[in-house]
Amino acid sequence: MLAPAAIFMTVFFAWPAVQALLIAFQTTQGTFTLANFQSMFHDTDFLRSLGNTLILLALIIPIETSIALGMAVLAQSRLRGRSVFLYIWSIPLAVSDLAAGLVWLSVFTSHGYLNSILQDLHLIQHPIGFLDYNNLSSVVAAVVIAEVWRSISLVMVIIMSGIQAIPSELGEAAEILGASAWHRFWRVTLPLLKPTLQVALILRTIAAFQVFAVVLALAGSALPVLAVKSESWVAEYRNFQLGATYAVMILVLSSLSTVVYLGLLRTPREVFQR
Amino acid sequence: MAEIKINSITKTYANVAAVREVSLTIEDGEFMVLLGPSGCGKTTLLRLIAGFEVPDEGSVSIGGKDVTDVPPGRRDIAMVFQSYALFPHLRVLDNIAFGLRMHKVPKANIGPRVRKAAEMMDIEPFLQRYPSQLSGGQRQRVAVARALVMEPSVILMDEPLSNLDALLRLQMRAELKRLLQEVKTTTVYVTHDQVEALSMGDRTAVMRDGAVLQCAAPMEVYDRPAHAFVAEFIGSPPMNLLPGVISDGNSVKVGDNQFHMDQTEGFGPGDQVRVGIRAENIEVLAQPATGALEASVRVVEPLGSHLLLTLALGEHAVKAITRTDFPARPGTRVWVRLLAEHLRLLGKGKGKGEGTEVAVTA
Amino acid sequence: MSVGLSRRGRTLSPNRLLAYSAALLITVFMLFPLYLIAAAALSPRSAVFDYPRALAPAPASLDSISFFLSSHGILPALGRSLVVGLLTVALSLALGSPAGYAIARYKFAGQDLVQLLIVVVRAFPVVILAIPLAVTFINWNLYDTVVSVAIVHTAIALPFTVLLTASVFLRVPTELEEAAMSLGSGRLGAVWRIVIPLSRQGLGAAALFAFVLSWNEVFAAAVLTVRNPTLPAQVVTSLGQSPLPFRFAGGLALTIPAVVFIFFMRPYLFSAFAREGR
């Protein structure tokens, strides 16, 4: 019963993954070469796209993880109307990165809602070009906000399921031993959430290395990132070698980050045995 | 050490009263057992004392201080949870020290106090281990040590032995009793196991449907149940209940047989009652004798130390205990003598002393 | 963690007030942009350069939406998106639910490994698949077709489908199946007569999940198509040349299914998105 799925995944997942490596390390004639990597490193946009990707990631991941933690705690507490909150907070789970980019485009574009509100409040005289290529920091901010908005729901849901797996007696035991809500969060909830956070961080970091349509929708070519470069080498220039090389670069960075998280957030094995 | 006063407390969930107008005073140093079937409100009552639940009506005071609005951490109580609730990410040592640290006990005192608690519970060798590396019994000991180390005025225990296997439970039962006698801390102990209730407590409060039906010393509860439900819930086998009518003065009629009682406890002639008698207070004879009623054996269950017989007495089923060499087989005719000084009268119908309907046909 | 317990729930403690304010603030952050894209898409095309923009379009108009829908290639792309979505649903259920059933019902060697692989696949950067598959599909004459896109989407959706269907089948007690078999039904018959009817809702959720995943996917769809893009691929490749009303209408068209989808998926959100979090 597993066989059909396994065969399908081998042909359309494992094999292309290997092939991507082959394409990146081969000439069009099929001989081994590092030329693709050389041309990638010499690509004028390579360092910029790598840098932008890393900057976005360094902003998005901590911001969304900490807010999502707060949201998960709020959603677990005995607030009235929490099911309504939870529904609204989950909507972006199903919003595509492209749609999220377009949603926030209506906010940040020069004649968009943000400028309109600021103007109505007489805080500015002229619209600000938040998405202009010479306003790089506000472009980055816009992409970060849109990407956090889109992916925070996923992080929240993962963390919530982790919190739910912590027996409520542990909180009660800490409470009766005199721990304040703050202490209970830091001394009990958070340490026990470590494996959950590890999963959320790995998934989200790998996804953030592939940030694509949000950037395209908001910044166009003003903010080159790795995934956009990969796609444009294939779609625009029909250069599969270079496209695959960029993709391999993303794979390498994703694997590295996973190893780092696994090392940083190690918990003694004994703790989570049953 | 402190006295607990529960004053007409009520707690309702979704319109169902989990605890209704319960008043109970637990003396300083007393070991009080809350006993009842699941859903009777005993755990809710314990959580109201702990402060995890806030009562809709009524108040709780500990040591003469009204704590109804005091959060759990400041009630000077400790609790042992059914699941033990040990923190899996902390070593045993840090689990026991957790409460002391939360109460900002000076560092120099923490070590000795933890060691003393660990010594009392015999868990010194495990202080550096994680809870997952301990057996169920050892975890139980850590949970108790974590409560004892706080030297609280009150210890609350929520079915602490129910996750242990039978043999260990027996052993821990005696040990907990000795320990709590030693520290003389007021204890409230929730259980659904009537053997624990009888063997451990100074007093037992039997609960049903959110109310305390009877609160008295264990043997009193066993021997003189105030309520048909108590009679049937406590003791194995449960007390036999036979329908009867109070006849003149000090006697009660069961079927055609008249029994003389010392007193009829507030019942008057003509009242419908239930007559209760424990299985061990029924004498089973192989031969007819004066005052003995004829019965026939339905089921014979050898229980090691004695035989448990189910007898058909007229149209009623009655449980009786006899010695193992008694010649009984299904269908055997026997004669039984109900020891009149052990007959108990319980009310029938609504109101106080009401009981569940017993199946009386064998 | 409980936030500030207040006696008998009558008074609002400062902690609770803070919690409500935070919850409200987050809700506004999540909801307001959705309102704005709707407002932008429902403004007439002529209003797009109005500045400052009114926060409420008055009067609301379907002008931008109909402009978007009548733009070149949009309707065919919408049709292709539907076809790709349905193909993805069919493929991923056909391949994934037997695997989910096996994981839910049988103990087999390497079971942990399978579960681990599913999570690894889930975490794998999908970007890397699209390009080699494009090369393969060119060789197979499948490039730039709905089938090729559906295959990639199935590869992405399959780990979810397996996990989701496994958790759905786990909810059907084995005893029910065994009871059916003890009454003379074969295993397949038991699955068909007992397990599937009882799991209908969960399987529906898995199907919906695969559909939305496909409906939303941009990167692979953009790499694998040229003249026959799906809706998101069409929108993303024409972003550079398209006027703002087109983009806003496109944004709304892509967002509405999400809102509806989450509404129906509420009971399954946890098993779908959070299995690895435990």
C176-201 tens-digit pLDDT = 888 888 887 888 888 888 888 888 88
**Is any Cβ of chain C less than 8 angstroms from the Cβ of B56?**
yes
Asked if C125 lies within 8 A of A250 by C-beta distance, the reply is yes
What is the domain range of residue A216? 54-223
| C250 contacts in chain A (CB < 8 Å) | 102
| Chain B: partners with 3+ C-beta pairs within 8 Å | A, C
To 10 degrees, what angle do helices C14-41 and A136-164 make? 130
Instruction: Please write the tens of the pLDDT for every residue from C100-136.
Output: 898 888 877 666 777 777 777 777 777 788 888 888 8
Would you call C1 an interface residue with chain A, using a CB distance cutoff of 8 Å? yes
pLDDT for A158 beyond 90: no
The residues near B249 (Cβ < 8 Å, ≥ 6 apart) are B264, B269
The pLDDT, as a whole number, for residue B173 is 93
DSSP C191: I
| Chain C residues with beta carbon closer than 8 angstroms to that of B69 | 7
CB of C36 closer than 8 Å to CB of A107: yes
CA end-to-end distance (rounded Å), chain A? 30
Contact B69 C5 (CB under 8 A): no
C109 burial via Cβ count (<10 Å: 0-12, 13-18, 19+): exposed
Query: What is the predicted pLDDT for the residue at B354?
Result: 41
Rounded to whole angstroms, the maximal C-alpha distance in chain B is 77
Two tokens at A187? 């001394």
Nearest CA in chain A to B128: A270
Domain carrying residue B294: 241-347
| The predicted structure's pLDDT at residue B51 | 92
Question: Which residues, in sequence order, are CB contacts of B274 under 8 Å at separation 6+?
Answer: B228, B241, B242, B243, B244, B345, B346, B347, B348, B355, B358
Interface contact flag, A158 C247, Cβ < 8 Å: no
Across the interface, whether the CB atoms of C5 and B54 are under 8 A apart is answered: yes
Q: What ipTM does this complex have?
A: 0.86
For residue A28, give every residue at least 6 positions away whose Cβ sits within 8 Å of its Cβ, in sequence order, or none: A241
Q: Determine whether the interchain pair A178/B52 forms a contact, defined as Cβ–Cβ distance below 8 Å.
A: no
Q: CB-based contact (8 Å) between A179 and chain B? A: yes
Listed in sequence order, the residues at least 6 apart from B348 whose beta carbon sits closer than 8 Å to its beta carbon are B228, B243, B272, B273, B274, B354, B355
pLDDT band at A20 (very low <50, low <70, confident <90, very high): confident
* C10: closest chain B residue by CA: B56
> Percentage of residues in chain A with pLDDT exceeding 90?
37
For residue C84, give the DSSP letter.
H
Q: Are residues B153 and B27 in the same domain?
A: yes
Q: How long, in residues, is chain A?
A: 274
Alpha carbons A250 and A17: distance in angstroms, whole number: 12
| Domain identity same for B165 and B271 | no
Token output for B36: 């009842």
Is the Cα torsion angle A10, A225, C233, C135 positive or negative in sign?
A: negative
Task: Please tell me whether residues B183 and B303 are part of one structural domain.
Answer: no
- On whether any CB of chain A is under 8 Å from the CB of B297, the answer is no
Q: Which of residues 4-23 of C touch B (CB under 8 A)?
A: 5, 7-9
Domain with A164 in it: what CATH number?
A: 1.10.3720.10
The answer to whether C258 contacts A254, with C-beta atoms less than 8 Å apart, is no
pLDDT-derived band at C270, boundaries 50, 70, 90 = low
Residue C146 structure tokens: 């709905």
pLDDT band at C2 (very low <50, low <70, confident <90, very high): very low
CATH classification code of C70-277: 1.10.3720.10
Residue pLDDT, tens place only, B168-186: 999 999 999 999 989 999 9
**DSSP label at residue C71:** S
Give me the amino acid identity at C185: S
C-alpha distance from C247 to closest chain A C-alpha (Å): 7
Q: Which two tokens stand for residue B310?
A: 């189910």
Phi, psi of B80 (to 5 degrees): -110, 125
Residue B228: CB atoms within 10 A of its CB come to 25
Contacts of B256 (CB under 8 A, 6+ apart): none
Tokens representing C176?
Answer: 């029910």
Between C55 and B150, where is the model more confident?
B150
Q: Does B335 touch chain A (CB under 8 A)?
A: no
In chain A, the residue whose alpha carbon lies closest to the alpha carbon of C48 is A111
Residue range A62-91: mean pLDDT, rounded: 88
The residue whose two tokens read 């046909």 is B361
Residues of A in contact with C191 (CB under 8 A): none
C-alpha–C-alpha distance, residues A248 and C129, integer Å: 10
In a domain, A84, yes or no: yes
Q: Which of A203, A156, A198, A204 is nearest to A56 (CA)?
A: A204
Alpha-carbon span B108 to B95, nearest angstrom: 17
Question: Is B65 in a helix, a strand, or coil?
Answer: strand
Neighbours of B123 (CB within 10 A): 21
Contact: A12, C152; criterion CB under 8 Å: yes
Distance CA B92, CA B126 (A): 7
Instruction: State residue A264's pLDDT score.
Output: 83
User: Which residue among A77, A248, A258 sits closest to C2, beta carbon to beta carbon?
Assistant: A77
Q: How far apart are CA B185 and CA B68, in angstroms?
A: 21
E strand or H helix at A205: helix A190-209
Q: Tell whether C266 is within 8 A of chain B (Cβ).
A: no
Give the gyration radius of chain C's Cα atoms. Answer: 23
Task: Say how far apart CA A74 and CA A128 lie, in whole Å.
Answer: 35
Reading the block at residue B246, the tokens are: 């109070």
**Interface contact B85-A170, CB threshold 8 A:** yes
Residue B355 lies inside a defined structural domain of this protein:
no
Identify whether B278 is part of a domain.
yes
| Cis omega (within 30 of 0) for bond into B269 | no
Q: How many domains does chain B have?
A: 2
Q: Provide the pLDDT for residue C12.
A: 64
Interacting residues of B247 by C-beta distance below 8 A, sequence separation 6+: B253, B258, B269
Is residue B353 included in any domain, yes or no? no
Q: Which residue has the tokens 């816009």?
A: A142
Let me know if residue A267 belongs to a domain: no
C residues 28-87 closer than 8 Å to A (CB): 29-31, 33-34, 36-37, 39-40, 48-55
Query: B63-67, C55-59, C163-167: lowest mean pLDDT where?
Result: C55-59
Query: Closest approach of chain B CAs to the CA of C18, in angstroms?
Result: 19
> Please, which chains are in contact with A (at least 3 CB pairs closer than 8 A)?
B, C
For B30-54, give the secondary structure using H, E and C. CEEEEECCCCCCHHHHHHHHHCCCC
pLDDT value at residue C7:
45
What pairs with residue B293 in β-bridges?
A: B336
Q: Residue-wise pLDDT tens for chain B (362 aa)?
A: 689 999 999 999 887 889 999 999 999 999 999 999 988 999 999 999 999 999 999 999 999 999 999 999 999 999 999 999 999 989 999 999 999 999 999 999 999 999 999 999 999 999 999 999 999 999 999 999 999 999 999 999 999 999 899 899 999 999 999 999 899 999 999 999 999 999 999 999 999 999 999 999 999 999 999 999 999 999 889 999 999 888 877 788 887 788 887 776 678 888 888 899 999 999 999 999 888 889 999 999 999 999 999 999 988 899 999 999 999 899 999 999 998 888 888 887 533 444 333 333 22
Residues of A in contact with B52 (CB under 8 A): 172, 175-176
Tell me, what amino acid is at A128? I
Q: In this complex, which of C4, C135, C269 lies closest to A23 when CB atoms are compared?
A: C135
**Beta strand pairing status for B307-313 and B203-208?**
unpaired
Q: B203 pairs with which residues across the strands?
A: B32
Main-chain dihedrals φ then ψ at residue A33, nearest 5 degrees = -155, 155
Of A49-63, A200-214, B339-353, which range is least confident? Answer: B339-353
C-alpha to C-alpha distance for B322 and B317, rounded to whole angstroms: 16
Task: Please state, in angstroms and rounded to a whole number, the distance separating the CA atoms of residues C245 and C75.
Answer: 17
Q: Please say which residue of B228, B254, B272 terminates a domain.
A: B228
Contact indicator for C218, C233 with CB cutoff of 8 Å: yes
Residue B167 lies in a domain: yes
How far apart (Å, rounded) are the C-alpha atoms in residues C90 and C95?
A: 9
Element holding B259 (H helix, E strand)? strand B257-260
According to the model, what pLDDT value does residue B357 have? 34
Tell me the nearest-neighbour CA distance from C15 into chain B, angstroms. 14
Task: Please tell me which of the candidates A104, A185, A206 has its beta carbon nearest to residue C123.
Answer: A206
Are both B41 and B71 inside the same structural domain? yes
Q: Taking 50 as the threshold, does the pLDDT of residue A54 lie above it? A: yes
CA distance A270 to chain B (A): 6
Q: Between A167, A192, A274, which is nearest B89 by CB? A: A192
Does B259 share its domain with B153? Answer: no
Contact C150, C87 (CB under 8 A): yes
Nearest-Cα distance to chain C for A80, in Å, is 9
In angstroms, what separates the C-alpha of B68 from chain C's closest C-alpha?
9
Cα(A226)–Cα(A242) distance, integer angstroms:
11
Domain count, chain A: 1
Cα A141 to Cα A55: distance, rounded to the nearest angstrom:
10
Residue A150 lies in a domain: yes
In Å, the largest CA–CA distance within chain A is: 72
Q: What is the pLDDT of residue C274?
A: 53
Burial of A229 from C-beta contacts in 10 A (0-12 / 13-18 / 19+): buried
Identify which of B82, B99, B133 has the shortest CB distance to residue A178.
B99
Inside any domain, residue A234: no
The residues, ordered by sequence, that sit 6+ positions from B81 with a Cβ below 8 Å of its Cβ are A169, A172, A173, B143, B158, B160
Phi-psi region of C20 (alpha: psi -120 to 50; beta: other; left: phi over 0): alpha
Distance from CA of A157 to the nearest CA of B (A): 23
Residues B215 and B252 in one domain: no
Integer Cα distance of A100 and A215 in angstroms: 10
Residue B330's identity, in one-letter code, is: P
Name the residue facing B73 among A175, A188, A274 (closest C-beta): A175
pLDDT at C88 over 50: yes
**Nearest 10 degrees: CA dihedral of A173, A175, A176, A177?**
80
Can you give the pTM of this predicted structure?
A: 0.82
Q: How far is A75 from chain B (nearest CA, A)?
A: 20
Residue A249 pLDDT > 80 = yes
Task: Give the pLDDT band of residue C6 (cuts 50, 70, 90).
Answer: very low
Q: How far apart are CA C101 and CA C93, in angstroms?
A: 11
